[in-house]
Structure 1
Amino acid sequence: MRKISLSMIILSLIIIGMLIPVGFSANDNSQTVITYGETTQHNANYKAIVDDFFVNQANVDLNTVESKIITADEVNKIASTITGKVYNSNQIFSSALVDLNDNDNLEVSVDKSKITTITGDMYLSALKSVGITNGHVYVTSPVTATGESALAGIMNSYEVATDVEIPETVKEAANNEIYTQAEIVENSDVDADELSKLVDDVKETVQEEDITDHATIVNIINNYTINYNINLTNNDIENLALSIEQIQSVQGDIDNYESQVSEVLGNANTDSAKGFLSGLFN
């Protein structure tokens, strides 16, 4: 039998270590991050309700998970430029857990008993617009809430887990998309999940054909409303077109973000690194 020297063992361990992406080693707790709405964080009963949901749904040990607080100021930075809404510190309930140990694809689990407006498909659509295609996201609230502030928390969690900041222009585009869909659902009888599928199809077409012309995007939306048999007002179609145009306009920032995340992951020819950056509008 061939003898294996100590130096060969050490060399093998070094090579294995080089193949593991930085920040994404096995059993790395930094891959799981919780963001609590500040109202929830400051109320023991609220936090206990949220924690119970995360433990039961994500099967995590909260003592080993990093957490952050999402403040009203952080939500208002984005919301004020999109909806004009201004939240105060006792209105930020939505909380989110991001687990990058599940990184074969992107999955979102929403507590439908508490999150009343934003659906799992809406979160999926907005995150894919940012360029995020992996991880398992869990969203809940101690009381009924729209879920709007949770998107800020989800993106913050990805920033903590990867140590790469998402550009503000990209955050605004993603939030604009989710707010536009939420507004349509709230003011009409359009099914939220069907609307999300329509938006995904439109974005995919626009991305593949590199379309930036407003009128052309409006026509594409109109065609898909016929395919899906969805009745949208002209104002709804106009707003959807503008939100999709905004995503197209920040493509350069999205590409830069993906490049930075790629460097953090190590680019060691691993399937996980390739999967995480499989691109926009999958």
Structure 2
Amino acid sequence: MRKITIGIVVLSIILVGMVIPAGFSGEANSVVITYGETTHANSDYKANVDAFFKSQSNLDLKNVAEKIITANDVNKISSTITGKTYSSNQIFSSALVDLNDNDKLEVSVDKSKITTITGDMYISALKSSGIKSGHVYVTSPVSATGESALAGIMNCYEEATKVEIPETVKQAANKEIYTQAEIVENSNVSADNLSKLVDDVKETVKKENVTDHQTIVNIIYNYTVINNVNITNSDIENLANSIEQTQNVQGDINNYEVKVSDAINNTKDTKGVLSGLFGK
């Protein structure tokens, strides 16, 4: 099995002790960037990341809200999922979220730098968290697998809306990304085929409201046959654990969507920027 190299797509993490506010606490930012601390500290790295964001989004970044993501931030989430820890010189990758572009959820990934996680994988995990709209851009100044980037993307959404995503929801979504990254890195299945498999399984599990582990395992196995995807029994178990975790926090996901909708509807300062951000 190949060792996963997380050239660390970095980004954000759960800030311990924060609670979900009833509404927006301060002015909402329609565009937010999270920079890895290594990238932000290196002018050439930051320039390369900014160049990607500008070319892809056509935005003027001068007045865009920024956050720096540290190794401590990343370790808070990676340590609970993979057990890995990172130093301050490993935090590279960055994300930009544009909520002005909110007709649907889109993710643009710098494929020259992000080597494993695809845009469809990010979209799937974000939708499972209750995020339905906005345009997300992900890049890194060096090669990175991309699994840690989801935390930073979520951080962008929190900064933009001033509403905290429940920790249980973050953990489930990040677990999904890490699990898929590990399978892609250690097997012959393509990222696109795995993403399609996971989406099919999640749709069936959610539609049938399945929470039993063995039933989820059976559903995954059936879709591996239907989609002609060759993964190990261990991979199937890991996927089942990930999907089961998401199913078990549906209550938190639903409550989050209600709080976000209430915050948007009760805040006059949004000026329509966030309208429909989490619409189904």
Gaps spanning 5+ residues in structure 1: where?
A: 1-21
Structure 1 equivalent of residue 279 of structure 2: 278
Counterpart Cα distance in 2 of 1:146 and 1:177: 14
Counterpart Cα distance in 1 of 2:188 and 2:110: 22
Structure 1 pair 34–56 and aligned structure 2 pair: CA distance change class (3 A): same
The 5-angstrom pairing of residues 25-174 of structure 1 reads 30-174=29-173
In the alignment of these two chains, the number of paired residues is 253
AA of the residue aligned to 1:232: I
Is the Cα contact below 8 Å between 2:35 and 2:93 reproduced in 1?
yes
The offset of 1:187, in angstroms, is: 0.3
Counterpart Cα distance in 2 of 1:208 and 1:277: 19
The offset of 1:70, in angstroms, is: 1.1
Structure 2 equivalent of residue 242 of structure 1: 241
AA of the residue aligned to 2:279: S
Structure 2 equivalent of residue 205 of structure 1: 204
AA of the residue aligned to 1:149: S
Is the Cα contact below 8 Å between 2:148 and 2:174 reproduced in 1?
no
Structure 1 pair 75–112 and aligned structure 2 pair: CA distance change class (3 A): same
Counterpart Cα distance in 2 of 1:273 and 1:204: 26
- Structure number with greater CO (CA < 8 Å, separation at least 6) is 2
The offset of 1:152, in angstroms, is: 1.3
The offset of 1:273, in angstroms, is: 6.6
Using the size of structure 2 for normalisation, the TM-score is: 0.86
Structure 1 pair 89–104 and aligned structure 2 pair: CA distance change class (3 A): same
Q: How many percent identity over aligned positions?
A: 72
- Aligned-partner SS, 1:36: strand
Is the Cα contact below 8 Å between 1:29 and 1:65 reproduced in 2?
no
Give RMSD over aligned pairs.
Answer: 1.9
The offset of 1:277, in angstroms, is: 2.6
AA of the residue aligned to 1:100: L
The offset of 1:276, in angstroms, is: 2.7
Counterpart Cα distance in 2 of 1:272 and 1:209: 34
Counterpart Cα distance in 2 of 1:274 and 1:219: 39
Runs of 4+ in 1 over 3 A off after TM superposition: 270-275
Counterpart Cα distance in 1 of 2:141 and 2:272: 37
Q: Which one has a larger percent helix, Structure 1 or Structure 2?
A: 1
Structure 2 equivalent of residue 251 of structure 1: 250
Gaps spanning 5+ residues in structure 2: where?
A: 1-22
Structure 1 pair 242–88 and aligned structure 2 pair: CA distance change class (3 A): same
